[in-house]
Structure 1
Amino acid sequence: MEIMTAMPDVISNPETVKAQDKAWRLIVWNDPVNLMNYVSYVFQSYFGFTRERADQLMLQVHNDGFCVVRSGSREAIESDVHAMHGFGLQATMTQEA
């Protein structure tokens, strides 16, 4: 009978560990379809931002072409991207540098 020994833990590459620890960003992009007040409404209703904060972010989207709305875990930001698509907004995610 052969005795199986546990394999030693694999030591991860330090760069990989650092990359896994970095937060993800939700980016909302400007588009020619949605009105500014609708984008502000989405930010208020979905994220719970105050009207003032939602308007700040909406103006950044409008003026700069995009805005980082929030950051967090990959799973949370993926969920936010899908939610923004559900509202008809263009959104993507990227990992922080």
Structure 2
Amino acid sequence: MTQPPHIPPKPPEGPGTDDAGSVVMERRAQRVEPPKLYQVVMLNDDYTPMEFVIAVLQELFGKDRETATQIMLKIHLDGRGVCGVYPRDIAATKVDQVHQAAAKAGHPLQATLEPVE
């Protein structure tokens, strides 16, 4: 007498299995925090020409002439001014670019990055 082939019992269907009995992992939504932001702050000095500061703000930070002039005046009058807000790596790159441009032009212009609270 011939025996029928053995067919394993089907696992119960429901969460965690598919039609073929394979185990399926549930996808859980992951909460990814947005990157922490940093502001690039340019510092006033008594030697860097105002026109150079305006040019740096336009070229490196993409500011129009009017906005660059307003930021430059804030730097001049308050001793510091925010040039832009970026993720940490971009802010650090912007600070380096300011320092390189100032050194190339022979100016002591300084910029720092600070975490945005």
Return the TM-score normalized by structure 2: 0.63
Question: Which residue of structure 2 aligns with residue 65 of structure 1?
Answer: 79
Q: Which has the higher helix share?
A: 1
The runs of 5 or more residues in structure 1 that have no matched partner are 1-16
Find out whether 1:41 has 2:55 as its counterpart: yes
Moved more, 56-65 or 36-45: 36-45
Q: Which gives a bigger RCO, structure 1 or 2 (Cα 8 Å, sep 6+)?
A: 1
1:92 has 2:106 as partner: no
Greater C-alpha Rg: 2
Please show how residues 1-97 of structure 1 align to structure 2 within 5 Å: 21-88=35-102, 89-97=109-117
Aligned length: 80
- TM-align CA RMSD: 1.7
Aligned AA (1:90): Q
Q: Which amino acid aligns with 1:30?
A: N
User: In structure 2, what residue type is equivalent to 1:43?
Assistant: L
Runs of 4+ in structure 1 off by over 2 angstroms are none
1:34 is paired with a residue whose SS is coil
